[in-house]
Amino acid sequence: MDKRKELKLAYKETPRPMGAYQIKNNVTGKIYVGSGMNLPGNFNSHRFQLNFKSHRNKALQEDWNLYGSDAFTFEVLESINADKISKDSWRKAVSELEDKWLNILQPYGDKGYNPPPTPAKQALVAADTSL
């Protein structure tokens, strides 16, 4: 195999940084909490959607339009160590991190851009934390 193919294969097999993140409006203090399997890709996707006025979160989009991109920061809240978790568990671990940070930061209403959790989701998180 030539060197270029080897490098390409190594790149594809290397796990991307994954975990929970926040997009923070530094003017209002409001935050959006999310998670992903490729944090740099998630940040790029959000920036692209926001810059082209096509983000699915309308409140976040409105504030981005009002305050401009310089008013926002993208931050990793917590990442998972892919070497310490089996590949089959990565997605679940990322989802659990998002739930953890949603529960800690409560980015709803005046505090953030996330929609409030449904009663069913609240019951699941409460049951999960009581174990």
Q: Is the pLDDT of residue 111 over 70?
A: yes
Listed in order, strand segments (DSSP E) in 1-131 are: 19-25, 31-36, 72-79
Flag whether pLDDT at 124 surpasses 80: no
Q: What is the model's pTM?
A: 0.82
How far, in Å, CA of 113 to CA of 1, rounded? 49
pLDDT digits (tens, 9 = 90+) for 6-53: 877 776 667 789 999 999 999 999 999 999 999 999 999 999 999 999
| Position 90 pLDDT exceeds 80 | yes
CB atoms closer than 10 angstroms to residue 76: 15
Query: Does 82 score more than 80 pLDDT?
Result: yes
Q: Which of 18, 128, 27, 25 is nearest to 78 (CA)?
A: 18
Q: Residue 130: pLDDT above 70? A: no
- Mean per-residue pLDDT, 103-114: 97
- Domains observed in the chain: 17-129 (3.40.1440.10)
DSSP 8-state assignment for residue 43: H
